[in-house]
Amino acid sequence: MAAKDSNQGLNKYGNLDLDLFKKHEIESLIQEQNKRFQVICSSKNDAIITSDESKRILFWNKGAEYIFGFTSDEAIGQPITLIIPHELHHSHNEGMERMNQGKEPRVLGKVLELKAVKKGGEEFPIELTLGSWDNDGKRYYSGIIRDITEKKKAELIILNEKKKSEELLLNILPKQVAEELKSKGKATTKRYGNVSILFTDFKDFTVMASSISQIKLVKELNEIFSHFDDILESLQIEKIKTIGDAYFAACGLPEKNTDHAHRCIEAAKHMFRYLEVRNRKNKLQWKMRAGIHSGPVVAGVISKKKFAYDLFGDTVNIASRMESNGEVGKINISETTYELIREKYNCIPRGQIHAKGIGNLNMYFLE
C-alpha cells in the first residue's frame, strides 16, 4: 500500500510540476514580449504614443522625445493636439469622436502621410500608423510615427531631376513624341499628308565666320536662334534642328492644323523683323534668306542614343531649295505653299527656276 501511495504522490507531484512548468513558460513569454516592447519603445526611429478616449497622452516613448522634442514628463497628460498642426485640430477631434462612438474608422491600420508639430513649433512630415483597442469599457489609441523629412527631401530631389530630364527631352523631341517614347520605349514613325517646312540660312556666312572669333560666332548664332525658338513657340511651330547656320522648322506635325503655311510665313516675317532691329544696333550684319514649301513628309525618331526627331521626303528637299534659291530679306515659297496662302498674302511670281537636284519649279516671293 505504501508503494501505491508513493506512486500516487509522485503522480500528484508530477502534475504539480507540469502546472508550474506551464506557469514559468507563460511568465517567460511575457518577459520576452516585454523585452521586445522595451526595445521597440526605446528606438529613436519611431515615436510610439498612446492616448485614451479623452484625447490625452498616456504613453510617450524615447522615439517621441527624440522626434518631437518634448520629454515624457512634458507630454504625458497633455492633449494629443500638442503635436498636431492647429489647422488639423478640428478634423482630428471629429475623427476621434467618430471612433469613440463606435463608428467605422477611416484611418485605422492605414499608413498616413500627415504634418506634425515639434516643440519649437516647426511643422514636419510624418508617416502615421494608428491602432485602437478596448479595455474595461474604455477605448485606447496607439500611433507609430516616423519622421519622413529626409524621405521627402529625397523624393523632391528625384522629382526635380525627373522634371529636368523631361524638360531636356522636350527640348529634343516634340511633346507627343516624347510622351510616346517614355510610355512605350519607342516612337512610331508617322506620315503626315500636308505640312509646311521653313528653312532659313545666312548669306556669306563662311566669309563672316572667318572675320570673327569662333567663340563670338557661336555666341551670336545662339542669341539669334534662341530668339527664333521663341518665335516658333509662340506660333506652335516645331523646331526640327539647326545645321550650321541653317534653321529647319515644320508646322502641322505632330499636331495637325490647317493653317501651317500661314504660321510659317508669320514666323519668317518675325525673324526678319528681329534681324532688322538687331542689325541696326550691331556692326555685325546678318543677312538671311527664307524658303517655305508644303507637302507630305515622314517623321520619326532616329537612333537610340542622342535621339533626333527628323523629317524625310521630297517636301524637305524642295523647302531647302526654296531657301537656297531665294534672296536676302525675302521669303521664297513654292507653288504648293502659294495655293494655300494666296487669299491672305500678296505674292510676286518668279516663274520657273531651276532647283538643284530637282528641276524647274515655280517660285513666288512674298511681298
Query: Residue 76 corresponds to which cell in the numbers above?
Result: 504625458
The pLDDT-based confidence of 248 (bands split at 50, 70, 90) is very high
Higher-confidence position of 6 and 283: 283
Residue 352 has pLDDT above 90, yes or no: yes
Residue 3 has pLDDT above 50, yes or no: no
Same domain, 208 and 356: yes
Predicted pLDDT of residue 160: 92
Residue 20 lies in a domain: no
Q: Which residue has the cell 531636356?
A: 168
Domain boundary (122, 147, 172) is at 147
Same domain, 75 and 222: no
Domain boundary (114, 147, 180) is at 147
Same domain, 140 and 262: no
> Is residue 100 helix, strand or coil?
helix
Residue 297 lies in a domain: yes
Residue 5 has pLDDT above 80, yes or no: no
Predicted pLDDT of residue 139: 86
Same domain, 53 and 130: yes
Q: Are 320 and 210 in contact (CB under 8 A)?
A: no
3-state percent breakdown (helix, strand, coil) of the chain, nearest 5: 45, 30, 25
Nearest partner of 67 among 45, 88, 97, 40, judged by Cα: 45
Predicted pLDDT of residue 65: 95
Same domain, 125 and 217: no
Phi, psi dihedral angles at 160 (to 5 degrees): -65, -40
Report the range of poorest mean pLDDT among 84-98, 164-178, 218-232. 164-178
Residue 154 lies in a domain: no
Catalytic residues: 321, 356
- What's the CATH number where 47 sits? 3.30.450.20
H helices of 185-259, where?
205-211, 214-235
Predicted pLDDT of residue 2: 42
Predicted pLDDT of residue 16: 52
> Is residue 284 helix, strand or coil?
coil
Distance from C-alpha of 333 to C-alpha of 361, rounded to nearest angstrom: 10
Report the range of poorest mean pLDDT among 172-181, 237-246, 295-304, 332-341. 172-181
Residue 249 lies in a domain: yes
What total of structural domains would you count in the chain?
2
Range of the domain at 74: 32-147
Q: Are 283 and 216 in contact (CB under 8 A)?
A: no
- What's the CATH number where 359 sits? 3.30.70.1230
Residue 171 lies in a domain: no
Same domain, 126 and 214: no
In tens, the pLDDT along 106-144 reads 777 788 999 999 999 999 999 999 888 888 888 899 999
Q: How far is CA 253 from CA 209, 247, 297, 313, in A?
A: 33, 17, 10, 14
User: Residues 325-331: what's their mean pLDDT?
Assistant: 95
Same domain, 210 and 355: yes
Q: How far is CA 146 from CA 36, 112, 285, 300, 353, in A?
A: 19, 10, 64, 49, 76
Q: Are 253 and 264 in contact (CB under 8 A)?
A: no
Domain boundary (91, 119, 147) is at 147
Query: Residue 208 corresponds to which cell in the numbers above?
Result: 563672316
Residue 1 has pLDDT above 50, yes or no: no
Report the range of poorest mean pLDDT among 92-106, 197-211, 241-255, 303-317. 92-106
Predicted pLDDT of residue 40: 58
Same domain, 142 and 225: no
Predicted pLDDT of residue 292: 97
pLDDT mean across residues, the chain: 86
Residue 341 lies in a domain: yes
Q: How far is CA 267 from CA 233, 247, 292, in A?
A: 10, 12, 11
Q: Are 328 and 203 in contact (CB under 8 A)?
A: yes
Q: Which residue has the cell 528653312?
A: 199
Q: Are 198 and 237 in contact (CB under 8 A)?
A: yes
The pLDDT-based confidence of 349 (bands split at 50, 70, 90) is very high
Same domain, 204 and 93: no
In tens, the pLDDT along 37-55 reads 555 566 678 999 999 888 8
Residue 264 lies in a domain: yes
Q: Are 63 and 72 in contact (CB under 8 A)?
A: no
Same domain, 227 and 342: yes
Report the percentage of the chain scoring pLDDT > 90: 59
The pLDDT-based confidence of 8 (bands split at 50, 70, 90) is very low
Same domain, 216 and 305: yes
Same domain, 244 and 334: yes
